[in-house]
Homo-oligomer: A and B are copies of this chain.
Amino acid sequence: MSSAVKLEAKELLSVAAAEGVSVEKLRRLLDAGRVVIPRNAKRADGTCARNGNREIVLKAIGEGMSTKVNANVGTSKDYINYEEEVEKAKIAVRYGADTVMDLSTGSSSSDGGSGDLDETRRRILSEVNVPIGTVPIYQAAMEKAGLRAIVEMDSDDMFNAVRRHAEDGIDFITVHAGVNQNSLERLKRSGRILEIVSRGGAFLAAWMMHNERENPFYAEYEYLLEIAREYEVTLSLGDGLRPGCIADASDRAKFMEAITLGELVMQAREAGVSVLVEGPGHVPLDEIEASVKVLKHLTDFAPLYLLGPLVTDIAPGYDHLVSSIGGAVAGMYGADFLCMVSPSEHLALPSVSDIKEGMIVTKIAAHAADLVKEGQREKARRLDDEMAYARKRLDWTRQFELAINHEEARRIRASRPPLSDSDACSVCGDLCVLLKWEES
């Protein structure tokens, strides 16, 4: 099987160098579908500038690569300000986002038009230089939602939204193709507290129940693959049935959907389409290892893209942190790609500063995972070892340079500087163990 993404030799070389792996290893993993490098063909064929899109930094996502981080941005029905969403995308990239997803659902036209959605997406494509993802079903639904009748979409609406996003240059799209009649039946028998918490999953389930038909993304998956292949768009197979609370974390519905996604992974690879798999959600600490390993096996080791997992439900306002605990552990066990959760999760549309804080803590989780990840640990450890030596020398300049967020580290140190005549900090002053006072 050959790699689904067409890379020039020099591009492959540069990605391999960024990851600290050999070109041969990268190529082997790409060919096996264990690593993907999302990039729309429109980004590669020299039409970027013509489209108003920026060229992107290529990112390898998957086994043996450093843990990647995605930032979700996008308007909501209640807050439609695309300047702010562009600002969020920019700040996310500034603080290390490897990719950005535009999840906009905010359209100001009451007639079901979605000009705002197109505008937000295109602005983000033109303003940031990382791979951009979307969930086209949102747009398809929004164009009907003005009429309050999501269930009245037809399958053409769905595929047209996919095509429109691909045509714009979107690099990866989420499709909830695993929400099929079989998995919904398993869901009904699962006895969950929170049945469906995925917005895309819920749109499709509602449509399927109302229309008594199969999910078009599942029934006409071959057609989806054709579009994806045409534009070299990476499919991110969404977990529309992801559990939404600790109680539901490891139920039959979740794994039924994953089994389906695994079959869809195989089909995508056979069609020469790059594919990622999305995972939950809410998982208690002691179920993360099993969850990650089983998902990896069921999906033939496709790159695993996780939202969270959140390891408790009771910390709204701190879900970025809750998610970074779960993300670090999931990364250790093989998750490849972490979706940033912001402090406002479960409460409100995030602000720009929420995106910044969410990014920083997710980058910390990703790095903590890289420190113990096969193929990445030596590279990651060099930073920590350098920090340890900088601490030993009381070399604050170097410590700040190495800090994931040097601004915050500087701010805190400056807020209470040492008063003693020493290079220590104000915790111990001239009693600092690193001052070698025992020899004085």
Interface residues of A (CB under 8 A from B): 76-79, 105, 141, 145, 148, 150-151, 193-194, 196-199, 202, 205-206, 209-210, 244-248, 284-287, 311-318, 321-322, 324-325, 328-329, 332, 343-344, 346-349, 351, 354, 360-361, 364-365, 367-369, 371-372, 381, 383-385, 387-389, 391-392, 399, 402-405, 408-409, 411-413, 415-420, 425-431, 433-434, 437-438, 440
Residues of B within 8 A of A205 (CB): 438
Q: Are B285 and A433 in contact (CB under 8 A)?
A: no
Q: Which 7 A-B pairs have the closest CB atoms?
A: A206-B438, A245-B388, A317-B408, A77-B429, A286-B372, A348-B416, A202-B433
Partner of A199, one of B371, B389, B428: B428
A-B contacts, 24 listed (Cβ < 8 Å) = A76-B429, A77-B430, A78-B418, A78-B429, A145-B431, A148-B440, A193-B392, A194-B391, A210-B438, A245-B385, A246-B385, A285-B332, A285-B371, A285-B372, A286-B372, A311-B371, A315-B364, A317-B405, A317-B411, A318-B408, A321-B364, A325-B328, A325-B364, A343-B408
CA distance A412 to B371 in the complex (A): 33
CA distance A155 to B285 in the complex (A): 46
Residues of B within 8 A of A329 (CB): 285, 325, 329
CA distance A245 to B313 in the complex (A): 32
Residues of B within 8 A of A413 (CB): 347-348
Residues of B within 8 A of A321 (CB): 321, 324, 361, 364
Residues of B within 8 A of A384 (CB): 245-247, 312-314
Q: Are A426 and B151 in contact (CB under 8 A)?
A: no
Q: Are B403 and A316 in contact (CB under 8 A)?
A: yes
Residues of B within 8 A of A412 (CB): 316-317, 343-344, 347-348, 354
Residues of B within 8 A of A141 (CB): 431
CA distance A426 to B405 in the complex (A): 29
Residues of B within 8 A of A287 (CB): 372
- 20 further A-B contacts with Cβ under 8 Å, apart from A247-B384, A347-B412, are A79-B416, A79-B419, A148-B440, A197-B434, A245-B387, A245-B388, A246-B388, A285-B328, A286-B332, A311-B371, A314-B367, A314-B402, A316-B399, A316-B412, A317-B411, A325-B325, A344-B412, A344-B415, A346-B425, A348-B426
Q: Are A431 and B348 in contact (CB under 8 A)?
A: no
Q: Are A437 and B150 in contact (CB under 8 A)?
A: yes
Q: Are A76 and B428 in contact (CB under 8 A)?
A: yes
Q: Are A318 and B247 in contact (CB under 8 A)?
A: no
Partner of A284, one of B194, B360, B372: B372
Residues of B within 8 A of A79 (CB): 416, 419, 426
Partner of A427, one of B76, B206, B316, B434: B76
Partner of A369, one of B148, B202, B285, B360: B285
Residues of B within 8 A of A318 (CB): 360-361, 364, 404-405, 408
Residue of B nearest to A209 (CB): B438
Max chain B C-beta neighbours (<10 A), residue from A148, A312, A387, A416: A312
Residues of B within 8 A of A418 (CB): 78
Partner of A391, one of B206, B322, B346, B381: B346
CA distance A245 to B433 in the complex (A): 14
CA distance A349 to B415 in the complex (A): 9
Given contacts A286-B332, A388-B246, contact A367 B312 (CB under 8 A): yes
Q: How close is A3's CB to chain B, nearest CB, in angstroms? A: 30
Q: Are A433 and B197 in contact (CB under 8 A)?
A: yes
Q: How close is A407's CB to chain B, nearest CB, in angstroms? A: 8
CA distance A217 to B377 in the complex (A): 40
Q: How close is A416's CB to chain B, nearest CB, in angstroms? A: 4
Q: Are B416 and A344 in contact (CB under 8 A)?
A: yes
Partner of A315, one of B312, B392, B403, B434: B403
Residues of B within 8 A of A405 (CB): 315, 317-318
Residue of B nearest to A202 (CB): B433
Q: Are B364 and A312 in contact (CB under 8 A)?
A: yes
CA distance A209 to B391 in the complex (A): 23
Q: Are B368 and A285 in contact (CB under 8 A)?
A: yes
